[in-house]
Structure 1
Amino acid sequence: MERLIDIHCHILPAVDNGSVSMDQTKRMLNIAYEEGITYIIATPHYGAGCINTGNPELEDKLEKVRKAAKEIDPAFQIELGNELFYSREIVEHLRKGRALTLANTRYCLVKFPKDEEYPAMKAGLHSLLIQGYYPILSHMESYRCLYENYEGIANLINLGVYMQMNSRSLTGNPLDSHVRYVRRLISNGMVHLIGTGSHSDCLKPPQMKKGLALIKKDYGEAVRKRLLENTQKLLLNQKMERKIFPYA
């Protein structure tokens, strides 16, 4: 079985708006495993100034989820990170270990309000870069300021930002304008990582197989392989390959 890695999943029970219970987490683990996912980075939300689940409680829940994963397959790994709500204070929280990078690497998964203005988003991501982090823009296809703003996306990538897309965004009706947009992002080399962004076993299950199959069919095995290799590089704390856009 091919080893897939999900870097964005709200699978820890009762810590954010993801899984509500250990029973639901176990169902999510089974779905993920059937999809070929054998490595998950759990990414509970974290915001400076917000009410966050403390790291000791996260570690306790992580161990319970790891145990459930090992019951499915001894090679099934679960690691910890955060999906970070960006604010000016987030770097301080990362430095103090309150907020978490992905699997203890320099990569951090960052989200903004969907209606965030582009200059504010760019400035926030740049602040993480200059502090030595590798920011990954979470579900990059969801932001209004980036919609069909290919020059703006290219500028962020040239700056050093990596782009994560949720796999289900690719698998909608191809006549839908947003689906066409996200597929153009793949075609243009503007996506570096595919994750599930899963929150449950029903509305947003941890599925990747269909999206990856579509990428292989429409854009070629080389594109699919590059996306999977990038997740391996993330775990090794290595810089991912990315296209530089000379026109941006």
Structure 2
Amino acid sequence: MRKLTTFHYVDIHSHILYGVDDGPDNIETSIEMMKIAYDEGIRKIVATPHYHPGKCTMGYEQLRRNFELFKEQMKDVCPEIELALGREIYYTSDILDDLEAQAHLTMEDSKYILIEYHPTVEYSYLRTSISNVMQMGYTPVIAHIERYMCVLEDWKLALELKNMGAVIQVNAGSVIGDSGSKVKKFIKRLLKEEIVDVIGTDAHSNGRRSPRIQECAKYICRKFDEDYAKALLRDNAERILKGEYLED
């Protein structure tokens, strides 16, 4: 087992729950993902299956049954890892109606929602959608902000979204260069300005997109002070799941 940093991590963005989206197809893969996560130092995982109108729209009751079954199956595999349930919502014009009709699209029944967009989304659309979601009383957690070209071209737009009240999430692999040098440089600037709020794995498999965070965590702990490192890798995720405000 790898040597860990002095604290464990919360993975706020993961597709570890099998049979519900484009994550693992079977329990065996989910088990392997869980073992990898444990070895990486993760002790809480938020399963965030996709919610995409017209594509991935599994109802909450069915999703909750699958999740509770998964939790029971995992007790003997990695009893030290706690599981929580959220969704990763793909923003479309229908989402506001869905949010109003379904209270169970949030992170552990909090007022936080994990929300994603098409990579080529226009900034005006992104900004307006964030405003719309917040007017409904929700706090948006922008999933893997490094994927959106409009923000990637101007890091100050990420700061503008954060100042609006959005929570900024980046993927662990992107921090260490898995998405290329341009993205790595972009995230480095966001981290330097303390714009990033949470880091997740966005894991989908036990292969190339597995729940690995340790290399990223070592980088964060080496480059930034302990309080910010803990906020990024554990504390802010815990606050989100409890429905608490993030500290400035």
Q: Which residue of 1 aligns with 2:204?
A: 199
Q: Which residue of 2 aligns with 1:246?
A: none
Q: Is residue 174–residue 180 contact of structure 1 (8 Å, CA) maintained in 2?
A: no
1:231 aligns with 2:230: no
Measured on the aligned residues, the alpha-carbon RMSD in Å equals 1.9
What SS class does the counterpart of residue 18 from structure 1 fall into?
coil
**Residues 122 and 175 of structure 1, relative CA distance in 2, 3 Å threshold:** closer
Q: Is residue 48–residue 89 contact of structure 1 (8 Å, CA) maintained in 2?
A: yes
Residue 170 of structure 1: which of 164, 171, 175 is its match?
Answer: 175
What SS class does the counterpart of residue 76 from structure 2 fall into?
helix
1:122 aligns with 2:127: yes
**Residues 174 and 73 of structure 1, relative CA distance in 2, 3 Å threshold:** closer
**Residues 167 and 174 of structure 1, relative CA distance in 2, 3 Å threshold:** closer
Report the TM-score when normalising by structure 2. Answer: 0.91
Q: Which residue of 2 aligns with 1:18?
A: 23
Structure 1: gaps of 5 or more residues: 243-248
1:32 aligns with 2:40: no
Residue by residue, what CA displacement relative to the aligned partner does 1:127-159 show, whole Å, maximum 9, x if unpaired? 011111010000011110001412211111111
Identity value in percent:
29
For 1:52, the aligned partner's letter is T
Q: Which residue of 1 aligns with 2:46?
A: 41
Residue 156 of structure 2: which of 136, 142, 151 is its match?
Answer: 151
Report which stretch shifted further, 105-114 or 231-240.
231-240
Residue by residue, what CA displacement relative to the aligned partner does 1:193-226 show, whole Å, maximum 9, x if unpaired? 0001001010111111111110111223232022
Q: Is residue 55–residue 98 contact of structure 1 (8 Å, CA) maintained in 2?
A: no
Q: Which residue of 2 aligns with 1:185?
A: 190
Report the TM-score when normalising by structure 1. Answer: 0.91
Q: Is residue 84–residue 99 contact of structure 1 (8 Å, CA) maintained in 2?
A: no
**Residues 158 and 24 of structure 1, relative CA distance in 2, 3 Å threshold:** same
1:82-161 paired onto structure 2 within 5 Å:
82-97=87-102, 100-161=105-166
What SS class does the counterpart of residue 102 from structure 1 fall into?
coil
For 1:39, the aligned partner's letter is K
Structure 2: gaps of 5 or more residues: 1-5
Distance, in Å, in 2 between the alignment partners of 1:183 and 1:124 is 26
1:53 aligns with 2:58: yes
Residue by residue, what CA displacement relative to the aligned partner does 1:6-57 show, whole Å, maximum 9, x if unpaired? 1110111122111121110111111111112121111111023435222232
Residue by residue, what CA displacement relative to the aligned partner does 1:77-126 show, whole Å, maximum 9, x if unpaired? 21211100112321221232275101111110000000000000000011
Q: Is residue 115–residue 145 contact of structure 1 (8 Å, CA) maintained in 2?
A: yes
Q: Is residue 69–residue 78 contact of structure 1 (8 Å, CA) maintained in 2?
A: no
Q: Is residue 21–residue 56 contact of structure 2 (8 Å, CA) maintained in 1?
A: no
Report which stretch shifted further, 219-228 or 229-238.
219-228
Q: Which residue of 1 aligns with 2:12?
A: 7
